[in-house]
């Protein structure tokens, strides 16, 4: 068995690609437009997974955009996506500088949570253990749900 992808339905494909691609740094690996089904699939990969994703089609995040308007509600059966980063503080600073709320700051230098434009919870984990605790993260409280 091998992991292939996680599918997330999105309401605004451009806003989601800006978040996942421009701000979060994922790269579009492939895209599929289905006119008869009226949907678009966009597959994204993290920087260290790009070669594998291009060669083997995995691991990826699949954004599913249904062309007809549809309201999605979050279910407790879906927890979160998780990505490992080289510097959690720099990643969180970059997201904050681009108006993304850090719902659970990296007070421990190891873990943070944010939400996508569609309310998907994303866990950010520090590669190779924790960084030393540092401000402003150490004093920052949680915001909203994560």
SS3 per-residue string spanning 9-27: EECCHHHHHHHHHHHCCCE
Residue 74 confidence (pLDDT): 63
| Cα(12)–Cα(30) distance, integer angstroms | 18
Under a CB-based contact definition with an 8 Å cutoff, are residues 26 and 48 in contact?
A: no
Q: Which CATH number fits domain 5-66: 1.10.3720.10, 3.10.180.10, 3.30.420.40, 3.10.20.600?
A: 3.10.180.10
**106: closest CA among 81, 144, 142, 145?**
142
81-139 fold: 2,3-Dihydroxybiphenyl 1,2-Dioxygenase; domain 1 (3.10.180)
> Which range has the worst mean pLDDT, 23-32, 76-85, 116-125?
76-85
pLDDT, tens only, 78-110: 668 889 999 999 999 999 999 999 999 999 999
| Residues with a known catalytic role | 123
Is pLDDT at 77 greater than 70 in this prediction?
no
What is the C-alpha radius of gyration for the chain, rounded to an integer number of angstroms?
16
The predicted model scores a pTM of: 0.77
Check residue 80 and give its pLDDT.
83
Res. 14: pLDDT tops 80: yes
Residues of the chain within CATH 3.10.180.10 domain(s) are 5-66, 81-139
């Amino acid at each position: 068995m091998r992991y292939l992808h996680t599918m997330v339905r999105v309401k605004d494909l451009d806003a989601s690609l800006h978040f996942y691609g421009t701000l979060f740094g994922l790269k579009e690996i492939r895209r599929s437009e289905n006119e008869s089904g009226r949907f678009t699939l966009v597959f994204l990969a993290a920087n260290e997974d790009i070669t594998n994703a291009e060669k083997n089609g995995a691991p990826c995040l699949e954004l599913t955009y249904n062309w007809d308007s549809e309201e999605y509600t979050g279910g407790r059966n879906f927890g979160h996506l998780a990505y490992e980063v080289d510097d959690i503080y720099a990643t969180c600073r970059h997201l904050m500088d681009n108006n993304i709320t850090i719902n659970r700051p990296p007070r421990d230098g190891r873990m943070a949570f944010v939400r996508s434009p569609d309310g998907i919870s994303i866990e950010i984990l520090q590669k190779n253990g924790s960084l030393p605790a540092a401000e402003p993260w150490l004093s920052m409280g949680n915001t909203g749900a994560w």
